[in-house]
Amino acid sequence: MARKYFIKTFGCQMNVNDSEKMAGLLEGLGYERAESPEEAEVIIVNTCSVRAKPDNKAYSFIGNLKRIKRKRPETLIAVAGCVPQKEKEQILRFSHVDLVFGTFNFVKLPQLLEKAKEKRTVEVLDRVIPEEEKIPLIESSLENPFVAYVTVQRGCNRFCTYCIVPFTRGRERSVKPELVVEEVKRLAEKGVKEVHLLGQNVDFYNYRGTQLPELLYLVSQVPEIERVRFTTSHPAGFTEEIAKAIRDIDKVCPYVHLPPQSGSNEVLKRMNRGYTREEYIEKVKMLKEIVPDVALSGDFIVGFPGESLKDFEETLSLVEECVFDQGFVFEYSPRPYTKAAEFEDDVPKEEKNRRLRELQELLKRQAEERNRKLIGKVEEVLIEGFSPKGTELYGRTLNNKPVAVKGEASLIGKTVKVKIEESSPFFLKGKPV
Ligand code: SAH
Ligand code: SF4
Ligand code: F3S
C-alpha cells in the first residue's frame, strides 16, 4: 500500500499555495494524497494567525489529531505556517505533535521529515534561507487543474498596526521574474489556463527594478496562459501604470482586490495604512476611469480600537462612493506582537458584530445590483469543473464572478461565452451561447 499524506490548510491563498508546494514535495518522495487524516502516515496542519478565529480553529484541529496518534502512534504529525512562527511553545504543549516548522523553511520539508522520524523536531527560523529561491522550482500538486497560484512576493514591510503578517512572514522579498515565468510555463504545460500572482502587497513587487506591470507583461507572454490575475493590491502602491497594464495587456483580468480597511482618516492613521480616505477614493476613481469594466473587491476591519460610530459611518460612506463587487468584513481582534494590541480594544463585541452585519448588508446590496446588471450579457467563463452539487458546471468570469453554467462535461477546462440568465449577490447562472 502506498504511503499517504494529508494536509489541512487554514488562511490565505499564500498558505494554500505553500500547501500545494508541500504536497508536491511529498509526492516527489512517493507519497499519495489521502482523503482523510485517518488514512495518512504524514499529517501537516498549515496554520494561519491573522485573526483570532483561524488561529483558534487551527488549535482545535491540532488537538483533535491526538485521537489518531493514539490509535496509530507511527503517524507523523506536523504543524507549519504562521502560528508556530510566533508561538512554537504553545504548539509544543501538544505532545502528539512530532514536527514544528514555520513559513521560512517549508522548502526543507523532506529533510525535516527525516529528522522528525528519528526524534521530535522543531525548526522555526526567523530569517530567509538561501533554499527559499528554490520554491518556484518545486512542482505544486494543484487543487484546481486549470487555475493556479504563483507566489511572486513574500513578507511585508508595512507594519499596519493590527497585522501580524510582517512578524510571521518577515520582510518583503520579490521572486526573480525569470523564475516566475519559468513556473508559469511549467504550469501551462500541465494544462493550467489561469494564474493568480500572489503577494501580501503585490503592487510593491520589485525585483531589481522590474515592477508589477512588467511582470504581468512577461507572464502573459506564455502562450497557453489565457488569464492573469494578481492579489492583494495595497492602496498606497496601486498606480496608474498598474491600471493601464490591466487595460492594455489582454490577458490581465479586470479585477482588483484593493482593501480600504476603513473609511475614516482617524482610524486609517491609527492603523498606519499610509493613505487617506480621499486618496483611496481617488485611486478607485482613477482605476474605474482607466478600466471601466473592472470589478472591485476589498477587506474591511470593523471595531478597530477607538472606532467611533462616526468613524464607522465614514466607512459606510466610502463604500457608497466607491461601489464594490465583493467585500470581506472582519471584526477586529488584537494579535500578539502588533502595535494595536497595546491600544484599548474598546468597541464591545456586540457592537463589532452589529457593525459587521450592517457593512455586510450594504456590500451585499451593492454586489446584488452589480450582478443584476449582467443579466442578458454575454460573459467569458473559464469552466473549472462541476458545481458542488454536481448538477451544473462551474466557472468564473473575467471579473472573477462565480457562474453556474448548464452544459456538458466536455466544456471543462475551456473558456466559453455564457449568457447570464440569473443573478444573486454572490453567484450568477447562465448557459453557453
Ligand atoms: N496584505 C493584505 C492582506 C492582509 S491579511 C493587505 O494588506 O490588505 C487579510 C485581511 O485580514 C486584511 O486585509 C484585514 O482586513 C484582515 N485582518 C488582518 N489583521 C486583522 C486583525 N488583527 N483583526 C481583524 N482583521 C484583520
Ligand atoms: Fe498586514 Fe498591512 Fe502588511 Fe497587509 S500591508 S500584510 S495588512 S501589515
Ligand atoms: Fe494567515 Fe499568514 Fe496568510 S497569518 S493570512 S496565513 S500570511
Ligand 3 atom with minimal separation from the 13 CA: 3
Peptide bond connecting 315 to the previous residue in cis, omega within 30 degrees of 0: no
Distance 429 CA to ligand 3 centre (A): 32
Ligand of minimum distance to the alpha carbon of 160: 2
Q: In a mutational test of the pocket of ligand 2, which residue from 169, 200, 231, 267 has the highest number of ligand atoms less than 8 Å from its CB?
A: 200
Q: Which residues pair with 396 in a beta bridge?
A: 382, 402
Q: Are 318 and 245 in contact (CB under 8 A)?
A: no
Q: Which domains does the chain have, with CATH numbers?
A: 4-124 (3.40.50.12160), 132-296+310-324 (3.80.30.20), 378-432 (2.40.50.140)
Q: Which residues line ligand 1 (CB under 6 A)?
A: 50-51, 162-163, 165, 200-201, 232, 234, 259, 261, 299, 301, 330, 332-333, 335
Distance 165 CA to ligand 3 centre (A): 6
| pLDDT by residue, tens only, the chain of 433 residues | 789 999 999 999 999 999 999 999 999 999 999 999 999 999 999 999 999 999 999 999 999 999 999 999 999 999 999 999 989 999 999 999 999 999 999 999 999 999 999 999 999 999 999 999 999 999 999 989 999 999 999 999 999 999 999 999 999 999 999 999 999 999 999 999 999 999 999 999 999 999 999 999 999 999 999 999 999 999 999 999 999 999 999 999 999 999 999 999 999 999 999 999 999 999 999 999 999 999 999 999 999 999 999 999 999 999 999 999 999 999 999 999 999 999 999 999 999 999 999 999 999 999 999 999 999 999 999 999 998 888 899 999 999 999 999 999 999 999 999 999 999 999 999 999 9
Q: Helix, strand, coil % (nearest 5) of the chain? A: 40, 25, 35
Query: Which of 255, 19, 3 is closest to 144 using CA atoms?
Result: 19
Q: Which residue type does 319 have?
A: V
Other Cβ atoms within 10 Å of 69 Cβ, number: 18
160 lines ligand 2 (CB under 6 A): yes
Task: Please name the residues in contact with 361: beta carbons below 8 A apart, sequence gap of 6 or more.
Answer: none
Ligand of minimum distance to the alpha carbon of 84: 3
How far, in Å, CA of 320 to CA of 324, rounded? Answer: 8
Distance 96 CA to ligand 3 centre (A): 24
How far, in Å, CA of 267 to CA of 150, rounded? Answer: 33
Query: Which of 121, 49, 67 is closest to 92 using CA atoms?
Result: 121
Q: Are 432 and 411 in contact (CB under 8 A)?
A: yes
How far, in Å, CA of 213 to CA of 203, rounded? Answer: 9
Task: Please name the residues in contact with 115: beta carbons below 8 A apart, sequence gap of 6 or more.
Answer: 99, 121, 123
Distance 335 CA to ligand 1 centre (A): 11
Q: Which residue type does 304 have?
A: F
- Going by CA atoms, what residue is nearest to atom 7 of ligand 3? 165
- Residue for cell digits 495587456? 249
Distance 259 CA to ligand 2 centre (A): 10
Specify the pLDDT at position 392.
Answer: 95
- pTM passes above 0.85: yes
Do β-strands 402-405 and 393-396 pair in parallel, antiparallel, or remain unpaired? antiparallel
Q: Sign of dihedral through CA atoms 243, 232, 157, 271?
A: positive
Q: What are the strands, taking DSSP E only, across 252-321?
A: 255-257, 295-302
Ramachandran bin of 45, using left for φ above 0, alpha for ψ from -120 to 50, beta for the remaining angles? beta
Specify the pLDDT at position 2.
Answer: 82
Query: Which of 395, 198, 397 is closest to 295 using CA atoms?
Result: 397
- Residue for cell digits 448538477? 391
How far, in Å, CA of 51 to CA of 334, rounded? Answer: 8
Q: Which residues pair with 122 in a beta bridge?
A: 100
How far, in Å, CA of 237 to CA of 275, rounded? Answer: 10
- Going by CA atoms, what residue is nearest to atom 5 of ligand 2? 158
The x, y and z cell numbers of residue 33, run together, are 494524497
Specify the pLDDT at position 88.
Answer: 94
Distance 249 CA to ligand 1 centre (A): 29
The CA–CA distances, whole Å, from 148 to 229, 320, 328 equal 10, 33, 22
Specify the pLDDT at position 387.
Answer: 87
Query: Which of 369, 271, 256, 366 is closest to 317 using CA atoms?
Result: 366
Ligand 3 atom with minimal separation from the 200 CA: 7
Specify the pLDDT at position 389.
Answer: 83
DSSP assignment letter at 398:
T
Query: Which of 169, 175, 135, 174 is closest to 155 using CA atoms?
Result: 169
Distance 147 CA to ligand 1 centre (A): 24
